[in-house]
Amino acid sequence: MELLFSVLAQLFTFKTFIAINAGLFVGIIIGALPGLSATMGVALLMPLTFGMDTITAIVLLLGVYCGGIYGGSITAILIKTPGTAASAATTLDGYPLAQQGKAGVALDIALKASVFGGVVSALVLLLVAEKISSFALSFAAPEYFSLALFGLTIISSVSGKNQIKGLISGMLGLLVSCVGMDPINGTNRFIFGITDLLSGIGVISAMVGLFAITEILSKAKSVVRPPDKMIEFSNKGIENKQFFKMWPNLLRSSLIGTFIGAVPGTGAATASFLAYNEAKRSSKEKERFGHGSYEGVAAAESANNGVTGATLIPLLTLGIPGDTVTAILLGAFMMKGITPGPGLIGSQPEIVYTIMFSMIAINLFMMLQGKVFVRVFANVTKIPTALLIPLLVTLCVIGSYACNNSIFDVKLAILFGLIGYLMNKLDIPLTPMVIAIVLGSLAESNLRRGIAMASGSYAIFFTRPISLFFIVASIFSLLYPTVCQLINYYKARKAA
Amino acid sequence: MGKRQQDKVTGFGAALFGIAMIFLIIPNWVVTSDALNLTSPDTFPKFASWMLVILGAALLLKTYIEEHSDKKNAKTAQESNLASGSKPPKEAFNLQKALKSEGFCVIATFLVIALFGLLLEPLGYLLSSMLCCTLLLIAYQCRKWYYYATVILFTLALHYIFGTLLHVRIP
């Protein structure tokens, strides 16, 4: 009890509140700008924290982190340009909603779902951090491979009616993910003498090209064409009652995000795609997914923000940073004299619990700030297309450049834009390609590591329980739609 | 382009690309080494390429079967089209109309974006973005001065946010 009061006293200070809100504000803006990620935001603000006390510094950086993950959804919904890779799944339903004049609803769902995911994740961090971290640590190459394989099965569910075209798009994505230095041997693949390709094709460049530039080219048509019908614009949000009707989906997606976040080296993009797929599979309105489903936006956003608290689990309990953001945070902790690891809770419980409680506070403040941002940003949909296109082009170019400070990345984004436009013309879905680009290298490197671990045997993937579970889940995920179709077909035949 | 034609082009393109990958690109551009691991660096690309060939062929086959089964319906539709009257007269080329066409806007937009990518290094971000945004507005035949002003102000604001506030090295 004494500890709780001490933690709350540290948290409820004017300085901490200012730090949380400043961090969130910067984080949301950075997340909303294509090419700038939460990682970059945390790295940029870290030097500012040198003179601050420990708690103020940590909550500021955590605010940037949470705000950055949420901020990516704003541009994903409004202009089909995910600010971060984590928001790519939000684009699938968020943008169609914006096109239907429901930008306000989509942004509001994204905000509330992000807060929900963030709070669930923070509670898990607070209550069962140690147990989860030891489970997550049992992940080795076979588990990572089977998890990535499970993620890749989403391709089947996002391909719509034309499964073959979806798979073709996925295979093209896998080939794109192979470009660059081989993750195991370090030999070159498909670099065509271009040294810039050695580090592979950046996910942000590919996404800016496939989503944003493709959309710009499609939008260019409407500059000369009057809209089919005037879309009634509304920046009204979603009612709480309607939002909380989705609680099973929100809870499931948040827990998926939390689980993925606790596993080092996976990331929010994987979590949001997995949650999206699960939401679609269990939804009663599957046909609405991809055309503006509230559940789709809620699943993607609660999952990617569910990752935020969970990434701190291995960091605080074991001293292992799960991704680049937590690696930077580890540096910040150490700079402030905190050494994360198994002994931290015992030696500095006040600090650990303040960080855990601050995650809840950060998410609640995000709700307040997000409301303001939603009202301001929702007006983007009112901008005339002829003006919007030049603004988007500038944003895309600087966004793809800022990721690696590379003009080559800008050229790649433009190339992907052209490829995306041609794929659209041929009615080939783009999302499977993006999923394969995100998960391809994770799947390949861990498949090969797993085989090497087992001295050439594939049995390792089937003898380890977690790996086997995900492989069975992948098979189920792939066969489920076909089995359902067959059952419906036979039912209809029987009825006839 | 009709759905069938789209499927045919996709199927043919995927199969052809897969074959080119297997026989031309992978042997020349993937350096294999069996020194460290049991699966070679070309395993995954080869799998994806073979899948492209198989999926492309499957799509072509599916389109062929669909076309074959719909042959009768198509024939009837063709007959009714012929019966419905003569072909619409071909319109003469009109430059003014062409400049306002959807196709022109898409091509112009892509060309300006490509130009942006090329000019970014020699001209720098500020000049190239102002030039390209202005070119886009000219291509869309915008006459409102505040569109041009907004675009220029936005470019300057982005330069300030990225370059000054966020310390991103801008070309």
pLDDT tops 50 at residue B82? yes
Q: Find the helix packing angle between A88-99 and A294-310, rounded to 10°.
A: 150
Q: ipTM surpassing 0.90, yes or no?
A: no
Token pair listed for A48: 């500012």
Tell me which H or E stretch contains A188: strand A188-189
Residue A401 to residue B36, Cβ atoms within 8 A: no
Render pLDDT for A4-22 as a digit per residue (tens, 0 to 9).
777 778 778 888 899 999 9
| Region B2-13 average pLDDT | 90
Q: Minimal CA–CA distance to A295: which of A66, A78, A92? A: A92
What is the helix, strand, coil percentage profile of chain B, to 5? 75, 0, 25
Q: Which of residues 34-93 of A touch B (CB under 8 A)?
A: 36, 40, 44
Question: What's the helix, strand, coil split of chain A in %, to 5?
Answer: 75, 0, 20
List the Cα angle A290/A270/A455 in 5-degree steps.
Answer: 135
Kindly state the average pLDDT of the residues A27-42.
78
pLDDT of residue B83 exceeding 60, the answer is: no
Residue B23 has pLDDT above 90, yes or no: yes
User: Domains in chain A: how many in total?
Assistant: 1
Compute the residue count for chain A: 496
pLDDT of B76 higher than 80: no
Q: Which of B41, B58, B155 sits opposite A182 (nearest CB)?
A: B41
Confidence of residue B97 (pLDDT cuts 50, 70, 90): low
Residue A230 confidence (pLDDT) above 70 = no
The Cβ-side half-sphere exposure at A302, using a 13 Å CA radius, reads 30
Q: Tell me if A393 and B132 make a contact (CB, 8 A cut-off).
A: yes
- Encoded amino acid at A92, one letter: L
Q: Does residue B75 surpass a pLDDT of 70?
A: no
Judging contacts by C-beta atoms under 8 Å, the chain A residues touching residue B31 are 187-189
Contact A55, A351 (CB under 8 A): yes
Report pLDDT digits (tens) over B122-133. 999 999 999 999
Q: Is A419 on the interface with B (CB under 8 A)?
A: no
Average pLDDT, chain A: 84
Q: Does position B63 have pLDDT exceeding 80, yes or no? A: yes
Answer yes or no: do B41 and A36 touch at CB < 8 A: no
* Residue ranges making up the domain that contains A363: 2-142+166-439
Angle at which helix A349-377 crosses helix A2-11, to 10 degrees, equals: 40
Mean pLDDT of A174-190: 88
Q: Is residue A303 situated within a structural domain? A: yes
Token pair, residue A339, equals 């050494």
The yes-or-no verdict on residue A331 having pLDDT over 90 is no
Sequence-distant (≥ 6) Cβ neighbours of residue B127 within 8 angstroms: B119
Residue type, A48: L
Q: What angle do CA A12, A14, A19 make, to 5 degrees?
A: 95
Closest CA to A69 of A89, A52, A93: A89
- Contact across the interface for B100 and A224, Cβ inside 8 Å: yes
Contact A167 B55 (CB under 8 A): yes
Contact B6 A217 (CB under 8 A): no
Query: Do the chains contact at B55 and A168, CB–CB below 8 Å?
Result: yes
The model's pTM is 0.78
| Mean pLDDT (whole number) for A165-169 | 91
For A366-383, the DSSP string reads HHHHHHHHHHHHGGGGGS
What percent of chain A has a predicted confidence (pLDDT) above 90? 17
Q: Which of B4, B100, B106, B141 to mutate to probe the A interface, most A CBs <10 Å?
A: B106
Q: What value does the mean pLDDT take over residues B65-90?
A: 64
Q: Does residue A36 surpass a pLDDT of 80?
A: no
Q: What is the DSSP letter of A49?
A: G
Residue A450 lies inside a defined structural domain of this protein: no
pLDDT of residue A335: 80
Residues 6+ apart with CB under 8 A from A92: A158, A276, A289, A290, A296, A300, A431
Q: Is A414 on the interface with B (CB under 8 A)?
A: yes
In a domain, A37, yes or no: yes
pLDDT reading at A151 higher than 60: yes
Tokens 């330069």 belong to B159
Selected for mutation to probe chain A from B16, B49, B113 (highest A CB count within 10 Å) is B113
Q: What is the pLDDT of residues A239-270, one digit of tens each?
A: 888 888 889 999 999 999 988 888 776 778 88
Mean pLDDT of A132-145: 79
Q: Which residues of A touch B110 (CB under 8 A)?
A: 217, 417-418, 421
Distance CA A177, CA A467 (A): 23
Query: Is the predicted pLDDT of residue A354 greater than 90, yes or no?
Result: no
Per-residue pLDDT tens over the stretch A366-375: 998 888 877 7
